[in-house]
Amino acid sequence: MSHSKVTIVGAGQVGATAAFTLVTRNITDVTLIDVAEGLPQGKALDMMHARSVLRFEPRASGTNDYADTAGSDIVVVTAGIPRKPGMTRDELLSINSRIVGDVVARAVGASPDAILICVTNPLDVMTDLAWKRSGLPASRVMGMGGVLDSARFAYFIAEATGAAIGEVEALVVGAHGDAMVPLPRLSTVAGRPLTELLPAEEVDEVVRRTVFGGAEVVSLLKTGSAFYAPGVSVAAMVEALLAEESSVLPACVRLEGQYGVSGVHMTVPAVLGRAGVIAVPELPLEPTELEALRASAASIAEQIAALESAGD
């Protein structure tokens, strides 16, 4: 385990699941912070009670005071309200923008050298806002949505093909929402592209279930949104950022000309390491894939413009 300090803002479903994964898998100590008094302390204590059962060394702690988060290497922002049934991620925009703007200023004030991972929805717009409010270089601000969407795509691919999950490599880029862009041609089972394994209409169905994967969970739960897969996806991103060697993960990063897109945060494969976003190499995409990615970027740019004209 590296000697690192990770703060998770928001000790709700996603934040707590991420924290539990990070400590139980011996990845890092975690400080949970929330506006709700007692909630982060109680969840952290409960996690510590599991130490002797699962035999892990890292510590989870809880606080309501940003002073306790000072000097964090990574700050994860999950604070906000989750999507309710029938609510789109975009409807969360105005409530969550106030919360994210506020917590980013406080968290970065306490940890000016941190890398920020935004998780609050609508993800792409909140990541852009977090970058603007933080004053940090773009290389140290990213959003988590692509690891989750790609994991959902991988699950549905495994189900449709009967493959073991470990044989599946899946990639989803673009917006974290209805405009997301699953890439069947670049997703594989034991190295073979999905497009060669399933007829086109079955590929379309797998893509459709992926795009509505989050909404399907929301409609079943009735209160709140998904948290197990989002929580472990956050932990995977934190682990990649703390590792000595860099690795490539889909991350919501600021694009500066890649894929013909500039000035928005959107998910693409990025090289991540201890410095944050180390590089954003361009995938060779076909014209239809590129078109879908640019449409995704346009939908994000529209939401950013809407938020800015609302004066937030």
* Inter-residue contact 223 to 191 (CB < 8 Å): no
Q: How far apart are CA 275 and CA 268, in angstroms?
A: 18
Q: Where are the alpha helices (DSSP H) in the chain?
A: 13-24, 39-49, 51-54, 93-110, 123-134, 146-161, 194-197, 200-211, 213-221, 228-242, 287-309
Cα(269)–Cα(252) distance, integer angstroms: 9
Provide the minimum distance between the beta carbon of 149 and ligand APR in the complex, in angstroms, as a whole number. 12
227 vs 259, beta carbon nearer ligand APR: 227
Residue 265 is among the residues annotated as catalytic for this protein: no
Nearer to ligand APR, 40 or 174 (CB): 40
Q: Which is nearer to ligand APR, 14 or 270 (CB)?
A: 14
Closest distance between ligand APR and the C-beta of residue 40, in Å?
Answer: 8
**All residues at 6 or more sequence positions from 76 whose CB lies less than 8 Å from its CB, including other chains:** 6, 7, 8, 9, 15, 18, 116, 117, 119, 144, 234, 238
Q: 178: alpha, beta or left, given left = phi > 0 and alpha = psi -120 to 50?
A: alpha
Q: Is residue 276 a contact partner of residue 242, using CB atoms and an 8 Å limit?
A: no
Q: Which is nearer to ligand APR, 17 or 161 (CB)?
A: 17
C-beta of 1 vs 221, nearer to ligand APR: 221
Quote the least distance from Cβ 77 to ligand APR, whole Å. 9
How far apart are alpha carbons 158 and 252 in whole angstroms? 25
Report phi then psi at 142, rounded to 5.
-145, 170
Take residue 97 and report the two structure tokens written for it.
Answer: 């923008």
25 DSSP assignment: T
Closest distance to ligand APR from the beta carbon of 293 (Å): 22
Alpha carbon 248 to its chain's center: 14
Give the nearest distance from C-beta 35 to ligand APR in angstroms.
4
Residue with smaller CB distance to ligand APR, 188 or 210: 210
Question: What are the CA-CA distances from residue 231 to residues 11, 16, 234 (Å)?
Answer: 11, 8, 5
Nearest distance in Å: CB 176, ligand APR: 9
Q: Which residues bind ligand APR (CB under 6 A)?
A: 9-15, 34-36, 39, 78-83, 96, 99, 102-103, 119-121, 224-225, 227, 230
Nearest residue by C-beta to ligand APR?
12
Positions annotated as catalytic residues are 176
